[in-house]
Amino acid sequence: MTNETLMRAARFHDYGPPSVLVVESVQRPDPEAGEVLVRVHFAGVNPIDWKLRAGYLKQFMPVPLPAIPGLDVSGTVEAVGEGVSGFAVGDRVFGRGASTYAEFAVAPITTIAHMPDGVSFEQAAPLHVGGVTAWLGVVDSGHVEAGQRLLVQGGAGGVGSIAVQLGHWKGADVIATASTANVDFVRSLGAGEVIDYTSVNVEDAVHDVDVVFDTVGGEVTAHSWSVLKPGGILVTCVGVPDAETAAARGVRAEATRRPTETRSILEELGKLVASGDLKPEIQQVFSLDDAALAQAASETGHGRGRILLKVAE
């Protein structure tokens, strides 16, 4: 292998703690038909990355080892695969790739979009996992409309912070939950009311909600049913809501399902960032060499917005 065919990447050879992530020289991938090769500027760090690395999902989502984590990506097109149209070398793109903790990553043209003028690589990097998930919950599944009451459970997180902004953009009356430290931040995103879940039970403080978007899961889902008005809907991106509970309460429930093609959603999100209606919140930016530290930070489950790896200028 020559220097032209090698790249630096963070990968793990065995399941384990963040320390199993090591940065090594590996073979640069080649784009197949319908794919482009992206020179990675930023990669998003998401919970799915460290859950796979830790082996939590190996029973039903095993990965071939050694494995390079990463889905979110922003960068420039380095090469195009067979049959690719609409994308050319040098184009600024963002969306979902494969094994993006690396200097280069491949991405299907169905899950990337062109970056609008005025949008930075840093702003665009978290828009696939966080942005698309929020869009699916608020727009596609929740069908949030102006004048409705929307409750976002977990309003400070990477998905929740975008969901709050999308609800505000739609003209909804947005309510969100957050920890004490993040109450003012979530209010600044467009939430008219923020419930500090460390001191207030949301079911005691909120009623007659049209749509609940749950980004937390577990007990939070269980405490979300009673805040809905009859005929309302609970949408979750974490787990599958219980249909029997929904029927017994006279409400609806749905889990977000990610479509195979997401370019159209990414294009809408890019327009919102360009117009200033959506401002992705970046919690921390780490270097590729500090990928293990980035995943350790993500594993805490606290903070606000997204964590990124800066790979190239």
pLDDT band for position 313 (cuts 50, 70, 90): confident
- CATH value of 3-115+281-310 in 3.40.50.300, 3.30.70.100, 3.90.180.10, 3.40.50.1100: 3.90.180.10
User: Are 132 and 140 in contact, with CB atoms under 8 Å apart?
Assistant: no
pLDDT of residue 57: 87
Whether 302 shows a pLDDT value over 80: the answer reads no
Region of residue 188 (phi > 0: left; psi between -120 and 50: alpha; otherwise: beta): alpha
Over its C-alpha atoms, the chain yields an Rg (Å, rounded) of 20
Model confidence over 198-255: pLDDT tens digits?
999 999 999 999 999 999 988 999 999 999 999 999 999 998 998 999 999 999 999 9
The reported pTM is 0.94
Domain definitions of the chain by residue range = 3-115+281-310, 130-255
Q: How does residue 4 score in pLDDT terms, banded at 50, 70 and 90?
A: confident
Residues 130-255: name the CATH superfamily: NAD(P)-binding Rossmann-like Domain (3.40.50.720)
Could you tell me how far CA 196 lies from the centroid of its own chain?
A: 23
Mean pLDDT of the chain: 95
What are the tens digits of pLDDT across the range 162-202? 999 999 999 999 999 999 999 999 999 999 999 999 999 99
Integer CA distances (angstroms), 53 to 28, 97, 103, 239, 300, in order:
21, 17, 19, 20, 15
